[in-house]
Every structure is written in structure tokens, then in C-alpha cells.
Amino acid sequence: MLFELKLITDTSERMKKYIFLAFLLFAGVIQSRAQGKLDSLKQSLQLIENDSLKMPLYAQIADIYLHYDTVANRRRKVYYQNEALNYTMLALHLYSRYSDSTGLRSSFDGLAKVYTSQRKYSEAKWFILQSNGISRIKNDVPNIITSLLKLSMVKMEIRDYKLAMTDLNEALSLSVKNKLPEMEMATQRNYAYLYNRMDEPEKGIAAMKRANLIADNIKKQEAETMAAINRFAGDTISTQKIDSAVKKKAQIVAKKTVKPKASKQPSKKTSKKIVASL
């Protein structure tokens, strides 16, 4: 019995090592591809003088560095974060010069992500508020809700639970009013996190149950939509097959049908000749 348990344990440990090695290999491949793309983008930057053309390149480079979550090495992750800040700032200045509000908002979101990871919550909160302001000007409800959820998470980290609750209440109101179930689900999950931090586990469990119920309803609705699409596609194909069969049958019948030749009527001249002969 002890030998069997030891064998199971050893097998489990080996599997964990294999999985970890596979993860490292996969991460290495991704990083290698990202590095190749970075080198290409940076070379392109050196050949371009026009700032309006540099702007999207800065943004693309920043976006690659913003995937620092995939980097296993701690020092390299910090390097990626700093480069993300650097290139996002370069893009942000150009977005500001050309009054590109969408680019500005994207830059604010990127900066907020890095500062949140670095636990620089004051800076993170400021940039999230800037993003939120642009979304309000655009009346972009999904992005307003997204920024409110990010704000609530930052405020949870600094233990400002009252203001975090205010953000979540607005996010919930907007998601329900605008019929955005995915956003409502995310808001309920944030409520669960907040209640757990406030040491109110029962309310946290209730919020997570609401989130799971919404998730189930979303899946059910998606399944019904796909079923309706499949039925429509099936009916359309069947109709097309029937129409095609009817057309072919009509063509075959038309080919087989021979029109009767019209009988020739005697001309007037012929009639006169017949009368004269009589």
C-alpha cells in the first residue's frame, strides 16, 4: 500500500514538472515571437520621421510590452513594465497633439494597468479617472462601466471600501439600465470581492451566486441564438434545394414539350385561282 502511494506521489510530481516545463517552453516561444516583432517595429521607427506615422508604431510596441504578465522572469517583467510606460507615454503625447481621444483613452488604460501592477495606486487611479472621463464624454457606457470596475478594484487595494461600493453601485445601475449582462456579471463578481474584503462572507457568496446565475443565463441565451441560426440556415438550404429541384423539373418538362406547328391558311391569290378554275 505504501509503495503504491509513493508511486502515485512520484508520478504526480513528475507530471507537475512536465507541465511546468511545457509552460516554460510555450512562454519562451511566445516571447521569441514578440521579440522578433519588437525588433521589426523598432527598426521601422528609425526609418520614419513623420510623427503621425510614428504614433501607431509606439502604440504597437507598448501593447507588446503590456503583455508583461506572460513573462516569467521577474527582472524581465519589470523591464517590460518600464518599457510599456515609456512607449505608452510617447504614444500618449502624439495622441494628445492630434486630439485622438480613443488613442488617449487606450494609453490611459495601459498606464493604469502598469501602475496597478506596481502597486502605485494613486497614479493608477488618476489614469483610470482620465479614461473614465473620455468615456463619459463619448457616452460609451461599456467603457464607463469597465473603468468603474477598475476603480473599485484599486479602491479595494487601498481599503477605501465605501467609495469602491459607490463605483460598483453605478456600474450595476448602468449595466442593468443598458441591458449589458456581461457587465452586470462582472460587477456582481466585484461585489463578491468587496464583501469578502469587508469580512461579510455571506453577502460575498450571495453576490457570486448572482454572478453565476447571470453567466448561466448568458450561456443559455447564446445556445438558443445558435440553435435559431442553425434552424434558419437549415430552412434556407432546404428551400434552396426545393427551388433548385423545381427549376430543374420545369426545364426538363419544357424540353420535352413540343409546340404544335401552326396550319397554313391558303393565300388570297390561291383562293382566286381556285374560283377562276371553277
pLDDT tens-digit readout, 255-270:
665 555 555 555 555 5
Whether residues 62 and 127 fall in one domain: yes
Each residue's pLDDT tens digit, 29-78 = 455 566 778 888 988 888 888 998 999 999 999 999 999 999 999 999 99
Same-domain status, 28 and 110? yes
Q: Does 184 reside within a domain?
A: yes
Report which of residues 16 and 199 the model is more confident about.
199
Mean of pLDDT values over 10-20? 55
Parent domain of 37: 22-139
Pick from 208, 176, 178: nearest CA to 191: 208
Looking at every residue in the chain, the average pLDDT score rounds to: 84
Q: What is the pLDDT of residue 240?
A: 66
Question: Is there a single domain that holds both residue 209 and residue 127?
Answer: no
Specify whether 129 is located in the same domain as 162: no
Residues 113 and 196 occupy one common structural domain = no
pLDDT in tens, 187-232: 999 999 999 999 999 999 999 999 999 999 999 999 988 888 888 8
Alpha carbon distance 155, 256 (integer Å) = 83
Cα 66 → chain centroid: 17
Q: What is the pLDDT of residue 238?
A: 63
Final residue in a domain of this structure, among 139, 159, 188? 139
Residue 57's identity, in one-letter code, is L
- Does residue 127 share a domain with residue 89? yes
Number of folded domains that form the chain: 2
Q: What are phi and psi of 261, to 5 degrees?
A: -70, 135
Q: What angle do CA 204, 210, 213 make, to 5 degrees?
A: 140
pLDDT band per the 50, 70, 90 thresholds, residue 16: low
6, part of any domain: no
Residue-level pLDDT at 251: 74
Residue 167 lies in a domain: yes
Looking at the fold, whether 27 and 108 belong to one and the same domain comes out as yes
Decide which of 88, 120, 139 is a domain's last residue.
139
Provide the pLDDT confidence category of residue 252 given band limits of 50, 70 and 90: confident
CATH of residue 195's domain is 1.25.40.10
Mark whether 133 and 145 lie in a shared domain: no
Residue 243 vs residue 127, higher pLDDT: 127
Considering 103, 121, 139, which residue would you say is the last residue of a domain?
139
Does any domain span residue 54? yes
In terms of pLDDT, which residue wins out, 261 or 170? Answer: 170
CA distance 212 to 191: 13
Tell me whether residue 151 is in a domain.
yes
Structure-block grid coordinates of residue 196:
469578502
39 and 127 fall within a common domain: yes
